[in-house]
A and B are shown apart, each in its own frame.
Chain A
């Protein structure tokens, strides 16, 4: 198994990178950042085609923003569509916002995507994120797939009894009762989880067994990442 970097480095790097790119209005920053994202995605052996397909157009919010911007940004008109005028400045600005958003996504996806949530929770704990918040993250993720399966079971059972989802009040009533049943089950399971933890000596915090050991390669990555971020920040703000 390849030696892993300390995940805290990746979390801090991703956050600062996102902050710099999000607050920058220069093409050079976005361009360099996008190349970095592609490089990182390549290095973490993600399938680039799948990755790009997954989020380039998946975001309805971004889509609405990017589609309206070319028409609402004042500038030199290129095409006239009835009352709408598509401007050159607007088109460029829309492209800028689109690339900016996807640059941050790409880097987040490449650095944090392959990590397991427990590893991230552990790193957040060592980054002094409040213990209650880390526990909330831990438990939420722990029971996510379990509750999802539970809901699929409830839905399956309803369908076997003749439920067919459609736009009708009667159908919405069934959806609601299924969801309410999921909530009741989650509530009850939480009591059982809490009792089971009490029996194992839970006192409101998780003692951490495994600690990160700082390695020479971590120093190397921190310095490299630091230099890169300083370079990006000066490109963005100077």
Chain B
């Protein structure tokens, strides 16, 4: 879930901006002329995936797939989400320009971190890919929700209820995303292992 404009206090916005700038600088180092189109198309694919509404009980949710991007793009997930969120801010007015830093950090940091944790499992066959997929999928979404909740609580005492609600809303999505990423990773491991290399 993206934080809207005008909610967080200035120190949180500033810190988010600084961390995202650092992450993006590292991510851009990873990108070469050959991998720029690849990162861009995978970013576009994740963007398309996030527009899909998947039924969950009586309602439906949309996927984030930040964990999967972290697994495939590593640190380039930072510039990738920066671009993704910039496009969303301009095309759909979701999130915004002043929250670009915070929102990118919320998405990309848990993605990169959980990918680091799960990566060793990818060498352990299709079962390993299944577990790795579940871990990155669920941890990255849960981490994103946790960061949003922490930033809100830090902004003010009276935002804590909203923070708890938002964290709770992330739980079912994290579970679903874990399942979906597990299947996606096992598929990629079998069909095109070089994407997960």
Contacts and interface: CB of A to CB of B under 8 A. Distances in A.
Interface stretch (A191-199, A212-220, A223-231): A191-199
Contact of A177 (B42, B44, B187): B187
Contact of A65 (B7, B181, B184): B7
Contacts of B89: 108
A179 B41 contact: no
Nearest to A73: B158
A184 interface: yes
Interface size class of B (residues with CB under 8 A): 35 or more
B187 A143 contact: no
User: B39, B41, B166: which has the most chain A beta carbons within 10 Å?
Assistant: B41
A182 B1 contact: no
Given A144-B44, A176-B183, A100 B6 contact: yes
Contacts of A133: 24, 28, 79, 82-83
Contact of B159 (A15, A69, A105, A136): A69
Interface residues of A, number: 79
Given A65-B152, A73-B158, A190-B41, A136 B166 contact: no
A18 B63 CA distance: 28
Contacts of B195: 183-184, 187
B43 interface: yes
A204 interface: yes
A183 B55 contact: no
B40 A151 contact: no
B31 A139 contact: no
A137 interface: yes
B10 interface: yes
A130 B57 contact: no
B5 A18 contact: yes
A167 B41 contact: no
B51 interface: yes
A32 interface: no
A142 B40 CA distance: 9
B48 A61 contact: no
Nearest to B11: A23
B68 to A, nearest CB: 8
Contacts of B13: 22-23
23 contacts: A22-B10, A22-B98, A64-B169, A65-B152, A69-B162, A72-B159, A72-B160, A73-B158, A101-B5, A132-B31, A133-B24, A136-B36, A137-B86, A147-B41, A165-B54, A172-B180, A176-B187, A177-B184, A180-B187, A184-B192, A187-B42, A187-B192, A194-B38
Interface of B: 1-7, 10, 13, 24, 28, 31-34, 36-45, 47-49, 51-52, 54-57, 63, 65, 68, 72, 79-80, 82-84, 86-87, 89-91, 93-94, 96-99, 148, 152, 157-162, 165-166, 169, 176, 179-184, 187-188, 191-192, 195
Interface of A: 14-15, 18-19, 21-23, 54-55, 58-62, 64-65, 67-69, 71-74, 90, 93, 97, 100-101, 103-105, 108-109, 112-113, 117, 120, 130, 132-133, 135-144, 147-148, 151, 165-167, 169, 171-173, 175-177, 179-180, 182-184, 186-187, 189-191, 193-194, 197, 202-204
Given A58-B94, A72-B159, A183-B45, 8 more contacts: A71-B161, A135-B40, A138-B40, A140-B83, A172-B176, A175-B180, A179-B184, A191-B37
